[in-house]
Chain A
């Protein structure tokens, strides 16, 4: 079974703090994704990565950055956390390196971040 783990289930931070959310997958997947989930808005893509050191902006990248130094690990960074970044953050991974094919995404358990 694919396993996607996230470093924390719950996190409380203060406004202005730098926040790191870590995600690790154990199935050698090429693609990794960060979403935020908010009531009434569904899942929105923040960033994704299709290879080590490669990244692309999703639909809502403002206020976030990412890092992928190793294939299995994808980090989401909030440079200066703000209250409007309070949300559930979901990491996902998928296998397919083939262009034009959309593979199943496997999700982590999520990190509920509260910014005070």
Chain B
């Protein structure tokens, strides 16, 4: 069985600062994929970043990067230079096939 845990229901960050959202993904699969999705208020959920478990290098997308620690089952998202538009619900998800499991989400507030 797979489990995804997001232990921070809410987080807050000052504009231009850096924030890290935590996620743990537990699975018996040796190869799998991990995702962070963003859901802005009243808007569509969109992909922020994805990580393939067999890759040693952590994924980065502009101001977004992940810290993937496979042995520790940890998959955290770092947002640098936070902007007001980063305010959203963030979901961590993972899967070895097309069926993903998602966490309960972290609501990120960005303070001006």
Interface positions of A (Cβ within 8 A of B): 31, 35, 40-45, 48, 50, 56, 58, 90, 92, 94, 96, 99-110
- A90's partner among B4, B33, B45 (CB-CB below 8 A) is B45
Q: Which secondary structure characterizes the binding site on chain B?
A: loop
If A96-B98, A104-B47, A104-B50 are given as contacts, then 13 extra A-B residue pairs at C-beta distance below 8 Å, sorted by A number, are A42-B102, A42-B103, A92-B45, A100-B96, A100-B97, A102-B32, A102-B96, A102-B100, A104-B35, A105-B100, A107-B45, A107-B46, A109-B43
Q: Which of A105, A108, A109 has the most CB of B within 10 A?
A: A105
Interface residue tally on B, bucketed by range: 20 to 34
Q: Which chain B residues lie closer than 8 Å to A99 at the CB level?
A: 97
Q: Which of B32, B37, B47, B98 has the most CB of A within 10 A?
A: B98
Interface positions of B (Cβ within 8 A of A): 4, 6, 9, 31-33, 35, 37, 43-47, 50, 91, 93, 95-105
- Contact at A48–B99, with CB atoms within 8 Å? yes
- Contact at A109–B44, with CB atoms within 8 Å? yes
Q: Given that A43-B91, A96-B98 are known contacts, is A102 also in contact with B103, CB under 8 Å in the complex?
A: no
Q: Which chain A residues lie closer than 8 Å to B43 at the CB level?
A: 109
- B99's partner among A45, A90, A108, A109 (CB-CB below 8 A) is A45
Q: How far is the CB of A114 from chain B (nearest CB, A)?
A: 16
Smallest CB gap from A43: residue in B: B102
Closest 3 CB pairs of A and B: A102-B33, A42-B104, A107-B45
